[in-house]
Chain A
Amino acid sequence: GAGVSQSPSNKVTEKGKDVELRCDPISGHTALYWYRQSLGQGLEFLIYFQGNSAPDKSGLPSDRFSAERTGGSVSTLTIQRTQQEDSAVYLCASNQLAGNTGELFFGEGSRLTVL
């Protein structure tokens, strides 16, 4: 399909393990975003990539969280030494900033459960 693709869709891990979540944005979209949605809470901004500019990492909750975007396309969100409070749905979104209306195109998310 032509939408934002995320993998894995579900991930169960043990406390203390590292996890990697992957996002394939819509082709041609230069901006990519990661959000986190915890049960019963609103979406929480994590990080934003735009072209070759330095990413906006202001939403990352701790230094255990990092993200990279290779070749201006695929992005990976890495969580090191996972904790139970990291359990959430991690959503990736992308858009084309030209003529931006604020519309973000979201993937279906990666559900992370930390035991």
Chain B
Amino acid sequence: EDQVTQSPEALRLQEGESSSLNCSYTVSGLRGLFWYRQDPGKGPEFLFTLYSAGEEKEKERLKATLTKKESFLHITAPKPEDSATYLCAVQAHGNSWGKLQFGAGTQVVVTP
């Protein structure tokens, strides 16, 4: 069974204090790994798709990396507006497009 585990569950950072979030996964043939950001009371917002080990994607202060067993979301010099819950999800070969297996998320709070 496909499984996604995110750690830590919660992370409190000072503004400018860089850190990394972990997403460990087991899947029967990875089609893609996805990172989403979710603000309170809102739906998730797409950040990145990673397809193969060694791939990296960047967007502003965020950088996502992928290995055969896990993905990291690095937050460099975070700002308070980076406060959100970050969700990781995987899609397996053979599943319907959009049938994603999500982790429980990492809640990030960045204080000024």
Contact = CB atoms under 8 A, between A and B. Distances in A.
Interface of A: 4, 31, 33, 35, 40-45, 48, 50, 56, 58-59, 91, 93, 95, 97, 100-109
A56 B96 contact: yes
25 contacts: A33-B98, A40-B104, A41-B104, A42-B4, A42-B102, A42-B105, A43-B89, A44-B102, A45-B100, A45-B101, A50-B96, A58-B99, A59-B99, A93-B98, A95-B98, A102-B46, A102-B49, A102-B98, A102-B100, A103-B34, A104-B46, A104-B98, A105-B46, A108-B41, A108-B42
A31 B96 CA distance: 11
B87 interface: yes
Interface of B: 4, 32, 34, 41-46, 49, 87, 89, 91, 96-105
The 5 closest A-B pairs by CB, nearest first: A106-B43, A42-B102, A43-B102, A103-B46, A56-B96
Given A56-B99, A102-B91, A107 B104 contact: no
Instruction: Specify which of B41, B43, B87 lies most central, judged by the most chain A CB atoms within 10 Å of its CB.
Output: B43
A4 B45 CA distance: 12
Given A58-B99, A109-B43, 6 more contacts: A31-B97, A35-B102, A42-B102, A102-B32, A104-B98, A106-B45
